[in-house]
Amino acid sequence: AQSVTQLDSQVPVFEEAPVELRCNYSSSVSVYLFWYVQYPNQGLQLLLKYLSGSTLVKGINGFEAEFNKSQTSFHLRKPSVHISDTAEYFCAVSTPGSSNTGKLIFGQGTTLQVKP
């Protein structure tokens, strides 16, 4: 079975500072990896995804993530955060071609709190 662990439930950071949100996954088969962001009272917005190819993935709003197969990690980074980045961030995996079709497995989420 697959699982996703987001290592920090809350990450406080000052505006314009860099940030890293950590995500580790467990799977015996190949996975697709995603980061989503959720603002209050809204649905999930896709930030970026790793399907194959280059392990460094760039997404929207200046975010990027690096897939590390040996460490089974997919950490999200941004070099300089803004107040508007305050939100909850979810890491998710899917296992294409398996019996888990159409199913995303999510981590518990990380609340990013950007302080002025």
Partner 1 sequence: KAGVTQTPRYLIKTRGQQVTLSCSPISGHRSVSWYQQTPGQGLQFLFEYFSETQRNKGNFPGRFSGRQFSNSRSEMNVSTLELGDSALYLCASSSQEGDTQYFGPGTRLTVL
| 96 sits near partner 1 (criterion: CB under 8 A) | yes
User: In the set 28, 40, 43, 52, which binds partner 1 (CB under 8 A)?
Assistant: 43
Number of residues binding to partner 1, judged by CB under 8 A: 26
Beta carbons within 8 Å of 90's beta carbon, 6+ residues apart: 6, 35, 36, 37, 38, 44, 106, 107, 109, 110
User: In the set 25, 34, 63, 67, which binds partner 1 (CB under 8 A)?
Assistant: 34
In the chain, the amino acid numbered 15 is: E
| 45 sits near partner 1 (criterion: CB under 8 A) | yes
CB nearer to partner 1: give 38 or 86.
Answer: 38
The stretch near partner 1 (CB under 8 A) out of 12-20, 53-61, 76-84, 87-95 is 87-95
Torsion of CA 52, 53, 59, 65, to 10 degrees: 90
User: In the set 15, 44, 59, 66, which binds partner 1 (CB under 8 A)?
Assistant: 44
| 54 sits near partner 1 (criterion: CB under 8 A) | no
DSSP readout, 18-52?
-EEE-EEEE-SS--EEEEEEE-TT--EEEEEEE-S
